[in-house]
């Protein structure tokens, strides 16, 4: 089976050029012009109409909610949402029920992902049994069972000794350790960023140090252990500064930032609104500026959505009781493209590096994040020219908990292919 994607605008050495892409048996066979003269006619033709064709986007931070929490999302709906957002590879976080904390449970999830997912899913195992702060998981075993990294996302590892032992063990088997850094006691019962806005609204605050103090601890432990230490969803100016200093010191640290922390601040919270509740919370404009600076100087390695779907009931009422988290897969590219590339803060090539190439490379997701001859035909066709409105009824995720509903943006995904098969196509 062969498919010709005609008139695809692709990035070649940072420049957009129009070429044809020939796909055969799921892989890219050739990129160029007049490919039929050499390869004959293709079985199918997709006309890209000079729209942008990107290597499939890669998101290392997604909550699929299956098993156990399928009222929020399933492998099927979460990966359809991924395809709708132009993502062809995602990392699935382990805060599900049961937690993948044994080789057997990881193997089961890997098998379920392969059976039900519409895009490639890389599976996280947890760091500790049941994501508590003690009893390490068998890292060698979960790696053999197919885990690509370990994380306790949703909670911080509260004890330094457990974190240090985990890092030593993860380093030994070559698994990246992705940390949700949060001191539970410092966070307390906070629901939004601590500061003047929280005070005005009478809502309990979450201080910057609840994130950065544990991060500072972890960087020293990472240095001592030699692990590949990855920081999830950095949100504060202090975190950016700690990661910057760690990199300068040669410590093997990478980090991600979520689109919402680059696009919004606590000043966007004008009333008690659960749609703007997530962990870590929207921070101050000063923190946002530091995140953008970190993105531009390379301190921040990648963008990851932290797609966290919840039911409508779980996201209604007061921020005091609603669940933490917002969806992100279906809005990430367009919101980032509109706010950062249209305004020339980032080039398109830099955005694709941050949303595809670098996460794939840094997490060893081979064959993801590239559009090259011989590699799988994982790609998305994206309209960069026409504005559209983000609408709840167009989301394929079960979760509709997005603060970006109603935004006018550019960068609509028209079609997504995984292994040469169309997994999403706009009507
Ligand atoms: N980010 C969130 O606010 N929530 C995430 C957990 C997490 O990423 O820490 C969730 O699983 O809902
Ligand atoms: Zn987290
Ligand atoms: Zn998360």
Residue 362, token pair as written in the block: 């840094």
Residue 370, domain member (yes or no): no
State the binding site for Zn(2+): 61, 63, 153, 180, 233, 306
Same-domain status, 289 and 325: yes
All residues at 6 or more sequence positions from 395 whose CB lies less than 8 Å from its CB, including other chains? 81, 84, 327, 330, 402
CA 302 – ligand 2 centroid, Å: 15
CA 340 – ligand 2 centroid, Å: 24
Residue 263, token pair as written in the block: 């696009």
Residue ranges lining ligand 1, Cβ < 6 Å: 63, 95, 153-154, 180, 278-279, 306, 308, 324-325
State the binding site: 61, 63-65, 95, 153, 180, 233, 279, 306, 310, 324-325
CA 180 – ligand 3 centroid, Å: 8
Residue 305, domain member (yes or no): yes
> Cβ(125)–Cβ(101) under 8 Å?
yes
Catalytic residue, from 59, 183, 301, 306: name it.
306
Residue 371, domain member (yes or no): no
CA 359 – ligand 2 centroid, Å: 17
Residue 282, token pair as written in the block: 């929207």
Residue nearest to atom 6 of ligand 1 (CA): 154
CA–CA dist 425, 427 (Å, integer): 6
Same-domain status, 48 and 61: no
Residue 369, domain member (yes or no): no
State the binding site for substrate: 63-65, 95, 279, 310, 324-325
Same-domain status, 12 and 104: no
**Any idea which residue has 């805060």 for tokens?**
95
Same-domain status, 21 and 115: no
What is the ipTM for the molecules in this complex?
0.99
CA–CA dist 409, 186 (Å, integer): 37
Per-residue 3-state assignment (H helix, E strand, C coil) for the chain: CEEEEEEEEEEECCEEEEEEEEEECCEEEEEECCHHHHHCCCCEEEECCCCEEEECEEEEEECCCCCCCCCCCCHHHHHHHHHHCCEEEEEECCCCCCCCCCHHHHHHHHHHHHHHCCCEEEEEECCEHHHCCCCECCHHHHHHCCEEEEECCCCCCCCHHHHHHHHHHHHHHCCCEEECCCCHHHHCCCCEECCHHHHHHCCCEECCHHHHHHHHHHHHHHHHHCCCEEECCCCCHHHHHHHHHHHHCCCCEEEEECHHHHHCCHHHCCCCCHHHCCCCCCCCHHHHHHHHHHHHCCCCCEECCCECCCCCHHHCCCCCCCCCCCCCCCCHHHHHHHHHHCCCCCCHHHHHHHHHHHHHHHCCCCCCCCCCCCCECCEEEEECCCCEECCHHHCCCCCCCCCCCCCEECCEEEEEEECCEEEEECC
Same-domain status, 275 and 413: no
Residue 379, token pair as written in the block: 């790609």
Q: Checking DSSP bridges between strand 15-24 and strand 27-32, what pairing results, if any?
A: antiparallel
For ligand 1, what atom is nearest to the CA of residue 182? Answer: 9
CA 115 – ligand 2 centroid, Å: 26
Ligand 1 pocket, mutate which of 95, 319, 324, 399 (most atoms under 8 A from CB): 324
CA–CA dist 219, 215 (Å, integer): 6
- The enclosing domain of 190 has a CATH number of 3.20.20.140
- Active-site residue, 419 included: no
pTM over 0.90: yes
Q: Which of 362, 384, 405 is the last residue of a domain?
A: 362
CA–CA dist 229, 209 (Å, integer): 19
Same-domain status, 317 and 397: no
Same-domain status, 8 and 104: no
Same-domain status, 154 and 208: yes
Residue nearest to atom 8 of ligand 1 (CA): 154
For ligand 1, what atom is nearest to the CA of residue 180? Answer: 9
Alpha carbon 323 to its chain's center:
19
CA 290 – ligand 1 centroid, Å: 22
For ligand 1, what atom is nearest to the CA of residue 232? Answer: 8
Residue 262, domain member (yes or no): yes
Residue nearest to atom 9 of ligand 1 (CA): 154
Same-domain status, 35 and 85: no
> Cβ(337)–Cβ(385) under 8 Å?
no
CA 377 – ligand 2 centroid, Å: 31
Provide the domain limits for residue 420: 2-52+376-425
CA–CA dist 67, 96 (Å, integer): 6
- The enclosing domain of 407 has a CATH number of 2.30.40.10
CA–CA dist 380, 386 (Å, integer): 16
pLDDT of residue 13: 93
pLDDT of residue 199: 98
> Cβ(17)–Cβ(31) under 8 Å?
no
Same-domain status, 70 and 42: no
Q: Which of 327, 362, 397 is the last residue of a domain?
A: 362
Domain count, the chain: 2
Residue 127, domain member (yes or no): yes
Ligand 1 pocket, mutate which of 325, 326, 402, 403 (most atoms under 8 A from CB): 325
Kindly give the confidence (pLDDT) of every residue in the chain, 427 residues in length, as a single tens digit, with 9 standing for 90 and above.
999 999 999 999 999 999 999 999 999 999 999 999 999 999 999 999 999 999 999 999 999 999 999 999 999 999 999 999 999 999 999 999 999 999 999 999 999 999 999 999 999 999 999 999 999 999 999 999 999 999 999 999 999 999 999 999 999 999 999 999 999 999 999 999 999 999 999 999 999 999 999 999 999 999 999 999 999 999 999 999 999 999 999 999 999 999 999 999 999 999 999 999 999 999 999 999 999 999 999 999 999 999 999 999 999 999 999 999 999 999 999 999 999 999 999 999 999 999 999 999 999 999 999 999 999 999 999 999 999 999 999 999 999 999 999 999 999 999 999 999 999 999 7
Same-domain status, 402 and 347: no
Residue 368, domain member (yes or no): no
pLDDT of residue 427: 79
CA–CA dist 183, 127 (Å, integer): 16
Ligand 1 pocket, mutate which of 93, 154, 402 (most atoms under 8 A from CB): 154
Encode 10-43: b = buried (16+ Cβ within 10 Å), e = exposed. bbeeeeeeebbbbbbeebbbbbeeebeeeeeebe
Phi, psi of 293 (to 5 degrees): -60, -40
Residue 17, domain member (yes or no): yes
CA–CA dist 214, 217 (Å, integer): 5
Same-domain status, 42 and 63: no
Q: Which of 333, 362, 391 is the last residue of a domain?
A: 362
């Amino acid at each position: 089976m062969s498919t010709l994607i005609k008139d695809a605008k692709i990035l070649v050495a940072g420049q957009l050029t129009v070429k044809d892409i020939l796909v055969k048996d799921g892989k890219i066979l050739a990129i160029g012009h007049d490919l039929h003269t050499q390869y004959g006619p293709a079985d199918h033709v997709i006309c890209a109409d000079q729209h942008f064709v990107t290597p499939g986007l890669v998101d290392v931070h997604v909550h699929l909610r299956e098993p156990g929490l399928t009222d929020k999302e399933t492998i099927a709906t979460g990966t359809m949402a991924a395809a709708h957002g132009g993502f062809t590879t995602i990392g699935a976080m382990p805060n599900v029920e049961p937690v993948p904390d044994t080789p057997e449970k990881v193997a089961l999830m890997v098998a379920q992902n392969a059976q039900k997912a519409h895009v490639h899913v890389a599976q996280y195992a947890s760091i500790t049994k049941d994501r508590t702060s003690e009893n390490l998981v068998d890292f060698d075993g979960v790696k053999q069972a197919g885990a690509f990294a370990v994380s306790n996302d949703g909670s911080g590892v509260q004890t330094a000794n457990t974190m240090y032992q985990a890092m030593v063990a993860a380093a030994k088997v070559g698994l990246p350790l992705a940390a949700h850094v949060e001191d539970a006691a410092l966070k307390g019962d906070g629901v939004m960023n601590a500061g003047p806005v929280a005070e005005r609204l009478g809502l309990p605050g979450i201080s910057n140090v609840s994130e950065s103090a544990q991060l500072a601890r972890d960087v020293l432990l990472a240095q001592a252990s030699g692990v590949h230490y990855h920081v999830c969803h950095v949100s504060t100016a202090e975190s950016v500064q700690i990661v910057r200093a760690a990199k300068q010191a040669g410590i093997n640290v990478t980090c991600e930032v979520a689109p919402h922390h680059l696009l919004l601040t606590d000043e966007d919270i004008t009333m008690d609104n659960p749609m703007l509740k997530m962990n870590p919370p929207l921070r101050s404009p000063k923190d946002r500026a530091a995140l953008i600076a970190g993105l531009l100087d390379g301190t921040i390695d990648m963008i990851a959505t932290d797609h966290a779907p919840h039911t409508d009931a779980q996201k209604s009422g007061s921020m005091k009781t609603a669940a933490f988290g917002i969806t992100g897969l279906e809005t990430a590219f367009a919101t980032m493209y509109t706010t950062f590339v249209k305004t020339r803060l980032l080039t398109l090539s830099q955005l694709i590096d941050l949303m595809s190439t670098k996460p794939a490379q840094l997490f060893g997701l081979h064959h993801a994040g590239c559009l090259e001859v011989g590699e799988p035909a994982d790609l998305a066709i994206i309209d960069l020219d026409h504005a559209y409105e983000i609408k709840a009824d167009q989301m394929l995720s079960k979760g509709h908990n997005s603060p970006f509903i109603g935004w006018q943006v550019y960068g609509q995904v028209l079609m997504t292919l995984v292994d040469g098969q169309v997994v999403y196509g706009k009507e």
